[in-house]
Homo-oligomer: A and B are copies of this chain.
Amino acid sequence: MSRGLVTKRGKKPGTAPGTLIHTGKKTDHPIRLRVVDYNDETLTAADGVDMAACATLPAGKLTRWLRVEGVHDPALIETLGNGINLHPLVMEDILNTDQRAKIEDYDHYVYLVMRMLHLDPDTHQVRSQQLSLILGEQLLISLQEHPDTLFDQIETRLRAGKRMRFLQSDYLAYALVDAVVDNYFVVLEQLGEQIESLEEELIAHPTPATLARIHHFKREMLLLRKSIWPLREVISRLARDENDLVRRETQVFLRDVYDHTIHVLDIVDTLRELLVGMLDLYLSSISNRMNEIMKVLTIIATVFMPLTFIAGVYGMNFEVMPELGWTWAYPVVLVAMAGIGGGLMRWFWRKGWLRQS
């Protein structure tokens, strides 16, 4: 349950900026390093290379894509950062895996942070990991917390299509960001389907569990929005600002991603408002059921209390109760009771309490 609200920050207040401490969840999967060097004629890919070697850019007109999966080893990040001359704050941000999406311009590179999402199929919770992109001339470094198959598709395209290989690191960065944002739609589709089936459940037979699920999804939407909202501005700046590293042709594509981000936020907001409406509906349905319960009680009490009272009267032991001796008294009283009961039922019928509503 401690997922996502306030993440523990390892850093103690007062420590120097640029102090490299990994602050995400402790993991011990091996860190995967993969280097893809390509231009329009050739493409080589290698796994498990040495970080120090990676930092030395390849000769010739090659564009290098360095994929790092796992950032829980500060020493490694420091080696890389020093190799390509990163600002200490950037190294710190790569390790502090609870950043808001942001973009920062440095002299020879752009640093971009965003969050990758996926839906845990068991708990229906949205999980996120931090993606750091460092975009330099002929260089793109992507740093994720965990291995993930989302970017394999892009390597496949790079390998397959010559057209994409002509394009450079900025287009590659666009391709990664686009894949991440498109994946938001996948997550939202899954959430949307669950919310709609919850809505059907709510209308058909609401239970307290329905309420807990509405609360769960409201919480997820809150965290989703928190993750995606700052990305809006990040991509807007990337798509619109003057920048030597992002070519104008790529900006056309980035504007398309920007529209998608706005669309994602639109959907999140729509789902949130729908969930608020569902909560209102739930509360009303509780009140309605309460009314039904009270009606049953009131009908029963109203019918039987007077009858029991009459029976009580003729159960009294006074010596002088002339009715008790009359031959037809008993059937007359029974008929009167039936009449009173029937009359009350008719009254309730007229009030509409007996009809199913």
A contact set with B: CB distance below 8 Å: 1-2, 5-6, 8-9, 11-17, 87, 89, 99-100, 102, 104, 150-154, 157, 161, 164, 175, 178-180, 182-183, 185-186, 188-189, 191-193, 195-196, 199-200, 203, 207-208, 211-212, 215, 218-219, 222-223, 226, 230, 252-253, 255-256, 259, 262-263, 266-267, 270-271, 273-274, 277, 279-291, 293-298, 300-302, 304-309, 311-321, 323-330, 333-334, 337, 357
Cβ contact within 8 Å between B9 and A222: no
Cβ contact within 8 Å between B287 and A296: no
A185-B6 Cα distance, complex, nearest whole Å: 8
Most buried by B among A6, A252, A277: A6
CB distance from A15 to the nearest CB of B (A): 7
Nearest 7 CB-CB pairs, A to B?
A14-B153, A311-B312, A6-B192, A13-B182, A314-B316, A304-B305, A297-B298
12 CB-based A-B contacts, threshold 8 Å: A2-B196, A5-B267, A9-B185, A13-B178, A211-B284, A226-B266, A226-B270, A308-B308, A311-B312, A318-B330, A319-B325, A320-B326
CB distance from A346 to the nearest CB of B (A): 15
Question: Which chain B residue shows the least CB distance to A229?
Answer: B266
Question: Which chain B residue shows the least CB distance to A17?
Answer: B253
- Chain B residues whose C-beta falls within 8 Å of the C-beta of A152 in the assembled complex: 14
> Taking A14-B150, A300-B301, A301-B305 as contacts, is the C-beta distance between A324 and B317 under 8 angstroms?
yes
A230-B263 Cα distance, complex, nearest whole Å: 10
Question: Which chain B residue shows the least CB distance to A181?
Answer: B13
Cβ contact within 8 Å between B300 and A5: no
18 other contacts beyond A6-B193, A9-B189, A100-B266, with CB at 8 A cut-off?
Answer: A1-B200, A5-B196, A13-B180, A14-B150, A14-B151, A16-B157, A89-B252, A208-B357, A211-B281, A215-B277, A223-B270, A286-B291, A300-B302, A300-B305, A309-B311, A311-B315, A320-B326, A320-B328
Partner of A317, one of B164, B222, B286, B316: B316
Partner of A8, one of B189, B200, B262, B270: B189
Partner of A308, one of B1, B282, B309: B309
CB distance from A234 to the nearest CB of B (A): 12
Cβ contact within 8 Å between B2 and A193: yes
Cβ contact within 8 Å between B273 and A161: no
A152-B13 Cα distance, complex, nearest whole Å: 11
CB distance from A302 to the nearest CB of B (A): 5
Cβ contact within 8 Å between A14 and B315: no
- Chain B residues whose C-beta falls within 8 Å of the C-beta of A329 in the assembled complex: 318, 320
Question: Which chain B residue shows the least CB distance to A156?
Answer: B14
- Chain B residues whose C-beta falls within 8 Å of the C-beta of A314 in the assembled complex: 316-318
A333-B314 Cα distance, complex, nearest whole Å: 12
CB distance from A192 to the nearest CB of B (A): 3
Cβ contact within 8 Å between B309 and A6: no
Cβ contact within 8 Å between B307 and A274: no
- Chain B residues whose C-beta falls within 8 Å of the C-beta of A89 in the assembled complex: 252-253, 256
A1-B201 Cα distance, complex, nearest whole Å: 12
> Taking A100-B263, A293-B295 as contacts, is the C-beta distance between A179 and B14 under 8 angstroms?
yes
